[in-house]
A and B are shown apart, each in its own frame.
Chain A
Amino acid sequence: MAVAIAAGRVWRPNRGLSQAAVLLLWRPGARGLARSHPHRQQQQFSSLDDKPQFPGASAEFIDKLEFIQPNVISGIPIYRVMDRQGQIINPSEDPHLPKEKVLKLYKSMTLLNTMDRILYESQRQGRISFYMTNYGEEGTHVGSAAALDNTDLVFGQYREAGVLMYRDYPLELFMAQCYGNISDLGKGRQMPVHYGCKERHFVTISSPLATQIPQAVGAAYAAKRANANRVVICYFGEGAASEGDAHAGFNFAATLECPIIFFCRNNGYAISTPTSEQYRGDGIAARGPGYGIMSIRVDGNDVFAVTAATGGPKARASSLSTTGACGIMMPLHAVGLWHLVSHQHELSTAPKPKGTTKPILESYLNSLFLGHSRYQLCIHQDAVRREKPQSNLNRESLI
């Protein structure tokens, strides 16, 4: 709710907004707000004008007392390309990715999943001290990585190994970092899963949550100034979005017009804390427009949707050219698999509830994760399958 008291200086907004009077949360429109600078828009107006003259606000007057209810518009809708059976719903939204890319996406997801299983077991056996799996979120990693250029800078939180995997980071180096052995490029300084690779433009993971957010914004600003034709992508979970650093990052990105994509992976839990205890309001995506950030909500289990949202002309072009920041929220719910995703926490602290671990983990490992399996189904229906049966790919990853 904005109550603005008129001050000395007046800022006249772009009146083209009046057509978008009903504020659709998922279509903030070309408000021109991000481009205009208040101190450049001093305008004379006659005292007969009864227009709002509040600095920093752009709206009409209203004489009816009405509060905006937090969820009155029933949630930002979730963009998807495939249905749960892997069918493309709307043929015009089919990204028509080249076969090699489709296969590479699948191979990366499968390889990541296999590596996760091995390293998870390694932690339970005491071979490595700590591990975080990526189960269920493989689609978000590879989908977004596929949409970026190889030189785009990546700031992750700790569950983005698939991005590195997609950029062909060798398995040996993943392992070396986890073991902290002589081959580790990080020289054994950090706990497992704290990967980093300068050549692949993946900034080293840092333990405290959300510290990467303001840093990513700074990097984006520098990239803009250098005319490097790069965007920055910044990943974080819905829990980390509660940190003060997240607020700082979003606000800086918008006001300083930085070419950055904020990518929120929402898996419903922060260790044991469900989203109902993490925030109220319509998730993280709904915060974007509040900061002046173009936003979308995407089904994180749908690789094609993730690729389209991250790299489609809208996201990338607008990141590079004008308003800058773009926010993508990826809910990763999957019917019936909430409880699995909730065990997706780090392995050296939080214990697993007794009696629930084994059956869930098994059912997951048997069926692969929904995003993955939906993608399987999609390839299944595609001609690609006839050239390379996916069971071969699955087996290859285990070698």
Chain B
Amino acid sequence: MAFVAAAAGWLLRLRAAGAEGHWRRFHGVGLARGFLHPSATVEDAAQRRQVAHFTFQPDPEPREYGQTQKMNLFQSITSALDNSLAKDPTAVIFGEDVAFGGVFRCTVGLRDKYGKDRVFNTPLCEQGIVGFGIGIAVTGATAIAEIQFADYIFPAFDQVVIPRSPFQAKGLLLSCIEDKNPCIFFEPKILYRAAAEQVPIEPYNIPLSQAEVIQEGSDVTLVAWGTQVHVIREVASMAKEKLGVSCEVIDLRTIIPWDVDTVCKSVIKTGRLLISHEAPLTGGFASEISSTVQEECFLNLEAPISRVCGYDTPFPHIFEPFYIPDKWKCYDALRKMINY
């Protein structure tokens, strides 16, 4: 796909593939209903059996952006889009089923608020949606294209961003929309409702291409993005508790172009790196990070860089729990690295 250097930003929002793990088989109807109900909240967690391979860990309430409100991931997306359309009169949102609010409810209320010429459905054709979006951006207007499922598209990825939480989602999405370069913004489906925290109502930006050190540590660096950040956070706790190992946890946030400095600075300190993602191992982004880090930090490494990823197969349905790089696989890899 040829990206013309657009005069204004254009953005492709994609539902992240995979992680349908929330649809496990249940042994009781009651449990299922509690989880499946759209308004299931984190408070129900105590009564529910753990159904996902991670636990969402909200960040502390942000103080520097004004008043906040509790939002889950899809609501924080809606908030970002609302802010964008309010600020930028050229901005339009389009894709399959966005008019009625979207299949994941990310565009609820926007058509009524901003008009049907700004929030509209397109025919069912991903190549058409992307091409159409590029055209809009060429004229200088802001195009926000929604691709319903990332699995349905093979774009050339020039700039890829993926949030781990509602607060991150809104800030990153706003930055993507305002960036003059085309951006692809992934939204992990499993977090749409499962992730809820306090999010500022007013617009704010989180910088692109800047990773975040969520937790400082001295023995191992753990890197992930999106849903997987919550998995490695838990792995860090397990390592502390069981092995007395101190982990530095990094959320990459922007996949391309990624924050090489932050990751390398951390590896120079710790000497060990573990990268984890759901996507298959071969050709997955962990291989890219691994390659660059060994170039930059070769003499600092105490052990080979570890990648804990999906298998080189299509994402399976019933065997998803075995495919997913869960906390046990990550913990096991970490242990091997420590004992190297």
Residues of A within 8 A of B (CB): 124-127, 129-130, 179-181, 184, 188-191, 207-209, 239-240, 242-244, 270-273, 277-279, 348-351
Complex CA gap A207/B33 in Å reads 26
CB of B96 within 8 A of CB of A188, answer: no
Identify 14 new A-B residue pairs, CB closer than 8 A, beyond the known A243-B126, A270-B97: A129-B317, A179-B25, A180-B317, A189-B318, A208-B152, A243-B124, A244-B125, A244-B127, A270-B124, A271-B96, A271-B97, A273-B96, A273-B123, A277-B121
Pick from B33, B99, B151: contact of A208, CB below 8 A.
B151
The 5 closest A-B pairs by CB, nearest first: A126-B32, A188-B318, A180-B318, A129-B23, A242-B123
Contacts of B269 in A (CB 8 A): none
Pick from A127, A190, A208, A242: contact of B317, CB below 8 A.
A190
CB of A350 within 8 A of CB of B97, answer: yes
Q: Is B35 engaged at the interface, CB distance under 8 Å to the other chain?
A: yes
Majority secondary structure of chain B interface residues (helix, strand, loop or mixed) = loop
With known contacts A126-B32, A129-B23, A348-B23, A273–B121 Cβ distance under 8 A: yes
Residue of B whose beta carbon sits closest to that of A353: B100
Complex CA gap A350/B100 in Å reads 10
Interface size for B (C-beta < 8 A) is: 34
Contacts of A239 in B (CB 8 A): 123-124
Complex CA gap A190/B100 in Å reads 29
Q: Is B316 engaged at the interface, CB distance under 8 Å to the other chain?
A: yes
Complex CA gap A378/B34 in Å reads 45
CB of A351 within 8 A of CB of B105, answer: yes
Would you list 9 pairs from A and B whose C-beta atoms are within 8 A, ordered by A residue? A126-B32, A129-B23, A179-B25, A189-B317, A191-B20, A242-B125, A349-B103, A350-B97, A350-B103
Residue of B whose beta carbon sits closest to that of A276: B121
CB of A351 within 8 A of CB of B38, answer: yes
Pick from A191, A240, A273: contact of B97, CB below 8 A.
A273
Contacts of A191 in B (CB 8 A): 20, 317
CB of B125 within 8 A of CB of A272, answer: no
Complex CA gap A271/B126 in Å reads 16
Q: Is B258 engaged at the interface, CB distance under 8 Å to the other chain?
A: no
Q: Is B340 engaged at the interface, CB distance under 8 Å to the other chain?
A: no
Residues of B within 8 A of A (CB): 20, 23, 25-26, 29, 31-33, 35-36, 38, 96-97, 99-100, 103-105, 120-128, 151-152, 314, 316-319
CB distance from B20 to the nearest CB of A (A): 7
Complex CA gap A21/B317 in Å reads 55
CB distance from A189 to the nearest CB of B (A): 5
CB of A189 within 8 A of CB of B314, answer: yes
With known contacts A127-B25, A278-B123, A271–B319 Cβ distance under 8 A: no
Q: Which of B23, B99, B100, B317 has the most CB atoms of chain A within a 10 A radius of its CB?
A: B317
Complex CA gap A156/B317 in Å reads 20
Contacts of B126 in A (CB 8 A): 243
With known contacts A180-B317, A188-B319, A126–B99 Cβ distance under 8 A: no
Complex CA gap A278/B99 in Å reads 13
CB of B319 within 8 A of CB of A209, answer: no
Residue of B whose beta carbon sits closest to that of A242: B123
Complex CA gap A188/B128 in Å reads 33
Residue of A whose beta carbon sits closest to that of B29: A125
CB of A349 within 8 A of CB of B152, answer: no
CB of B32 within 8 A of CB of A127, answer: yes
Contacts of A188 in B (CB 8 A): 316-319
With known contacts A126-B32, A129-B23, A190-B317, A278–B152 Cβ distance under 8 A: no
Contacts of B29 in A (CB 8 A): 125-126
CB distance from A101 to the nearest CB of B (A): 35
With known contacts A242-B128, A270-B96, A277-B123, A126–B103 Cβ distance under 8 A: no
CB distance from B13 to the nearest CB of A (A): 15
With known contacts A188-B318, A208-B152, A127–B124 Cβ distance under 8 A: no
Contacts of B319 in A (CB 8 A): 188-189
Pick from B33, B104, B151: contact of A349, CB below 8 A.
B104
Contacts of A279 in B (CB 8 A): 123
CB of B124 within 8 A of CB of A242, answer: yes
Complex CA gap A99/B258 in Å reads 69
With known contacts A189-B317, A207-B151, A243–B32 Cβ distance under 8 A: no
Contacts of A181 in B (CB 8 A): 318
Complex CA gap A273/B26 in Å reads 33
Contacts of B104 in A (CB 8 A): 349
Contacts of B32 in A (CB 8 A): 125-127
Complex CA gap A58/B32 in Å reads 63
CB distance from B146 to the nearest CB of A (A): 13
CB of A272 within 8 A of CB of B33, answer: no
Contacts of B121 in A (CB 8 A): 272-273, 277
Pick from B33, B96, B123, B317: contact of A126, CB below 8 A.
B33
Complex CA gap A123/B23 in Å reads 10
Pick from B20, B25, B99: contact of A272, CB below 8 A.
B99
Complex CA gap A349/B126 in Å reads 18
Pick from A125, A180, A243: contact of B125, CB below 8 A.
A243
Complex CA gap A207/B288 in Å reads 30
Complex CA gap A240/B96 in Å reads 12
Q: Which of B29, B36, B96, B316 has the most CB atoms of chain A within a 10 A radius of its CB?
A: B96
Residue of B whose beta carbon sits closest to that of A125: B29
Complex CA gap A349/B104 in Å reads 6
Complex CA gap A278/B126 in Å reads 13
CB distance from B322 to the nearest CB of A (A): 10
CB of B38 within 8 A of CB of A126, answer: no
CB of B23 within 8 A of CB of A240, answer: no
Complex CA gap A348/B38 in Å reads 11
With known contacts A188-B318, A273-B96, A126–B125 Cβ distance under 8 A: no
Residue of A whose beta carbon sits closest to that of B38: A351
